A and B are shown apart, each in its own frame.
Chain A
Amino acid sequence: MTSRTALLALSLALLSAPALAAKTMGGDLGSLGVVPGKVGGTYTLPLSDSPQTFNYYGAIDNNTYTVLNNVLESLVEYNLATYKLEPGLAESWTTSKDGKVWTFKIRKGVKWHDGVPFSADDVVFSYNNIILNPGVRANQIPNLSFGGEPVKVEKVDASTVRMTLKQAAGAFTQPLRTFILPKHVFEKIDPLKNPADYMKMWGTDKATEVIGTGPFKFAGYVAGQKISLVKNPDYWKVDAKGTRLPYLNRLEYLIIRDPQAQVAQFLAGNLDQVNITGAQFPDLKQKEVAGAPFKVVRSKALFGSPPHIAFNFDAKDPALAKVFRDLRFRQAMQFAVNRQRIIDDVFNTVATLPGHGVAPISEFYVNTRGALGKFDLKAAGQKLDLLGLKDTDRDGIRNLPGGKNLEFDLTYATDSTVYPPIATIFQNDLKSIGVKVNLKGLLVANMLATGQAGNYEAMLYAFGDQPDPQLRREIWQPGQALNYWHMSARGEDGKPVFANMQPWEKRIWDIFDQGATVVDPIKRRALYGEWQALFSKNLPVIMVAKADNLAAVNNRVGNFIYNLGPIPTYNTNTLVYLK
């Protein structure tokens, strides 16, 4: 190399020095239609209620999460297309051979919104004094404990953090999506000693005190009406062309509680985008076709809650419980779920066949569609005949072995557009094969508690899908708190009761136990594949359908990517621009 080229290389390196910390975003998102955008403008979104607080660890509240997702950041973050975790505030990381020691290189050149440089101290303080602090209301101790002990977080030097686990963990980076807070703000009150004082920080009256490292800064909050965020001009991400992100000058959330009112405000042009349901789809699509200045976007996002039907293995009526535990009964019910009609009529065709515990677009998904079978009431009836559940007293309803009618309550949520019609369709189809279903409506908010208390016979309910099955362990592993259809597999002490599990349940328990500690991604995928096969064959619950995600978006919005909102680090607003 001549001295001239060396000089040139040096000056080039110096020129690009300010962008050293910058990470390019959006270059690999072509599949989502992301293009370099235009700077400027105000983007207005709805928020379904007032946030309880702006202190991320102060409440479990989706509205708080949705807003703070634009302001705070984590060590790792989602790739918006693949849902794989990418470097965020951590530039890179390495793992020891046994998977127990993780070393993170912290990104340099990142600043808090008040200008103070971000460093390893912030990470260590956030974890040790807030995130893993048992006195903090929404602490993350359960997510960050492995082998019964919380992760140990230490500073190695100004830009290196080491985390030590008692036991190797397969999905360790997933809980690291939790947000980092500024040490220089919170050290004054010492959250370890005074957790109650910590809880009073960053309340809804102190919006403008809230700072993070994220693409947007707080500008103001009008109680019950509007949250205003403005662009962080020093943000560390650039687009494929080198333009500093975010494109938007302002991001505003209007607080509108009623979904219909949100749509009205969208139609009036006061909102740029609104997430909608299948029930609202035909009306808005019609308007779009008629030339309204917006588009209805349908996308297969990973998040979202596919409904299922659960039968209480521990139903209070022992004869009913015995029938529910019998696989043949659940197979009969599987035949009796008219998925095509539900997809067509209830979801207005905006849904697909469900996966089993894993969303069809997830990297963990194995194709279990074949196991869903076809809607076939005759086959369902034959299965019930084989079980000996015949109509012995000729009143049109099959009878249980003791002579009682085969009749059960189906508990479902009334405050929803999808559950009531699904429940009715299922009820009618079962009626035609001599099974009597009594519908029992509850509020969504009370469903889970009713399920966990065992006060139901059958239940129509839904849990959200997540990118990694490990994150849904509390639901699908028998003996866990949310495995509500078989609560007798869980002891009073919260420990699993293997004696009460069927063999396939025990195997699922083992799979989740192993999956938690295996680090090799191929082995993990194989394990969770086996679980999905067991699920689809043994039907702990009967999956109904997976709704696609729908949004109505104004034509002036560019780079729109569907976003549920409250999922930490799945932030699409950084790339949105106005045409």
Chain B
Amino acid sequence: MLSYALRRILGMVPTLLLISVVCFVVIQLQPGSFLDQYLEDPRVTKETVATITRQLGLDQPLWVQYLTWIKGIVLHGDFGYSFANGRPVAELIWERLGWTVFLAVLTLIVSWLIAIPLGIYTALNRYGIGATITNFLGYISLAIPDFLVALLLIALVLSAGGTNVGGLFSPQYIGEPWSWPKVLDLLNHLWIPMIAIGLEGVAGLMRQMRASMLDVINQDYVRTARAKGLAGRAVLWRHAVRNAINPLISLAGLSLPTLISGTIIASIVLNLPTIGPYLYDSLLNKDQYVAMTLLLFSALLLLIGNLLSDLALAWADPRIRFE
């Protein structure tokens, strides 16, 4: 298992290099450059633009820019400078990473905890009224975009006289040291993004779980288990669910990159201090090293997510381990 993991990790290196080239090319193909805003501004002279170009290293040929960037990453862990902020990219991402990871992981856990039982329930009671209602609600929440849910929730809270409309804290707690009132304030704000961002995931996962459960339930081995007199509970959890969950584990690996790009609009509407809006800004501003690093990071997360889900799959399913 360990050697397998190591092999996979080593295999990531060339993939990432290739991805970094693609990211760089994509960013360069985007029309315009960071300097456009200065070129258009009458307050800025041509000489100043030339100086900025030199300061930012944009006067170098593209391949030199790329190699310098990669060299910085490999040798010094330096992901380059943000043109707009004049600060190292890694530092800027780090500033926003905490809340991003917190929100993403929490949403993931909550949506799994809700979706899996619901999926099993709707599969087992296919024709029941409860399952029909749950399915209907699932379709609706799949169809409504997350930012719309966010807006509706905000309107609801406002009309109920609440003050927790957006952000993660009330203004007086931002930047203050942790305390119980601050935690309570966080919880009071947190449920809105949880619902807005998580709802779509719950609905999707629930449908997946239901489908793969339905596949499994009619399999011969389930019938055999029943026939040999195992308790219904044991059949369900040990035989059916354990097999049905495999596709979902693979799916979980793919959801890691949404950490960065998945919630841009909802983050803007809900005013969440996450990385999404920052990626959006850097793409608009053509702040190339920020955009490239975030794209690269998102690719890395995809690779790691895949590895983790493969390992989890191997742990969950002996047949895969055997192969």
Contact = CB atoms under 8 A, between A and B. Distances in A.
Given A60-B37, A143-B43, A254-B171, A269 B163 contact: yes
B9 interface: no
Nearest to A51: B85
B267 to A, nearest CB: 9
Interface in B254-287: 268-271, 273, 277-278, 281, 284
B72 interface: no
A204 B85 CA distance: 7
A252 B40 contact: no
A265 interface: yes
A482 B151 CA distance: 39
Interface in B199-241: none
A44 interface: yes
B52 A137 contact: yes
B73 interface: no
Contacts of B158: 264, 267-268
Contacts of A228: 175
Nearest to A474: B42
Contact of A137 (B48, B269, B284): B48
B64 interface: no
B220 to A, nearest CB: 55
A445 interface: yes
Interface in B157-201: 157-158, 162-167, 169-171, 174-175
Contact of B45 (A134, A204, A252, A256): A134
Contacts of B151: 260
A143 B40 CA distance: 15
On chain A, which size bracket covers the interface? 35 or more
Interface stretch (A193-201, A274-282, A385-393): A193-201
Contacts of B165: 261, 264-265, 267-268, 270
B45 A53 contact: no
B59 interface: no
Interface string A115-144: 000000000000000000011111111110
Contacts of A204: 85, 87
A226 B171 contact: yes
Interface of A: 44, 49, 52-53, 55, 58-61, 134-143, 195-196, 199-200, 203-205, 220, 222-226, 228, 252, 254-258, 260-261, 264-265, 267-270, 445, 448-449, 452, 474, 480-482
20 contacts: A52-B85, A60-B37, A61-B84, A138-B43, A196-B55, A199-B86, A204-B85, A223-B273, A224-B277, A225-B169, A225-B273, A226-B175, A254-B174, A258-B268, A264-B154, A265-B166, A268-B158, A268-B163, A481-B40, A481-B42
Given A203-B87, A205-B91, A265-B166, 14 more contacts: A55-B86, A59-B84, A135-B51, A142-B42, A195-B51, A199-B55, A222-B174, A224-B95, A255-B271, A257-B268, A258-B271, A267-B165, A268-B164, A480-B42
